Amino acid sequence: MMPSHDFPLAAWLLPIAFAIVADQYAVLVHASRRQIFEHLLRLPGDHFRSIARAMRMSVGSARHHLAVLVRSGLVYEEKAEGRCRYYPRGGVATTQIMGLYRKHWKYRDLRFRVLLAVHAVRAAQPSTVARTLGISRQLAAYHLARLEKQGKLICRDGAYRPSTRAPPRLARE
């Protein structure tokens, strides 16, 4: 159906826009999807496993319901640093708020916190970093080795030091 010249374009597009919005919110009729969407409104940028855990949902169910929310356009996903984070869509104000949450998640990233701990101590062994961050020594050693491989740290005599060429920021892998 093409709009006629005497029928305004806006009036022709209004029913289509209404149908799109109605379809988006129809996916929220399902209780699990509605709970996930409400969770993302409270905690934008939460990652996939955390959402599944918080909803006490199987991985398969969480993946399915998140995929439906993404396809409907109510939620968008962002893949970065090995994680898939989900954000609710919205207007300009919502986009600005999501930007703040992106910064929050970056600073919560464990590898970034390990890097900051080494910069603070200047010569840290895995056990020191583990105690400082409250993680296992093995996990600290893993992240220290990855940061060394990225060129952000130098290991000498079992102690990690900041690389002279690396500012304290995390590059995307």
- Structural domain of 95: 9-100
Question: How much is the pLDDT for 114?
Answer: 86
In 31-125, where does DSSP find H-type helix? 31-42, 48-54, 59-72, 92-108, 110-121
What is the count of structural domains for the chain? 2
68 is a domain residue: yes
User: Domain check: are 24 and 94 in the same one?
Assistant: yes
Contact yes or no for 48/62 (Cβ under 8 A): yes
Q: Which of 76, 100, 124 is the last residue of a domain?
A: 100
**Residue 24, token pair as written in the block:** 């988006």
CA distance 84 to 23: 25
Tell me which amino acid residue 24 is: Q
State the pairing for strand pair 83-88/153-156.
unpaired
Question: How much is the pLDDT for 41?
Answer: 81
Q: At 116, which CATH number?
A: 1.10.10.10
Comparing 41-50, 55-64, 104-113, the range with the smallest average pLDDT is 104-113
Where are the strands (E) in 33-74, listed by range? Answer: 46-47
**Residue 15, token pair as written in the block:** 């029913």
**Between 27 and 59, residue with greater pLDDT:** 59
User: Domain check: are 79 and 127 in the same one?
Assistant: no
**Between 58 and 84, residue with greater pLDDT:** 58
User: Domain check: are 43 and 84 in the same one?
Assistant: yes
pLDDT, one tens digit per residue, over 105-130 is: 655 577 878 888 888 887 889 998 88
CA distance 88 to 48: 14
In the chain, the largest separation of any two C-alpha atoms, in whole Å, equals 82
Q: Is the pLDDT of residue 173 over 80?
A: no
pLDDT, one tens digit per residue, over 64-81 is: 999 999 998 888 888 876
4 is a domain residue: no
**Between 95 and 92, residue with greater pLDDT:** 95
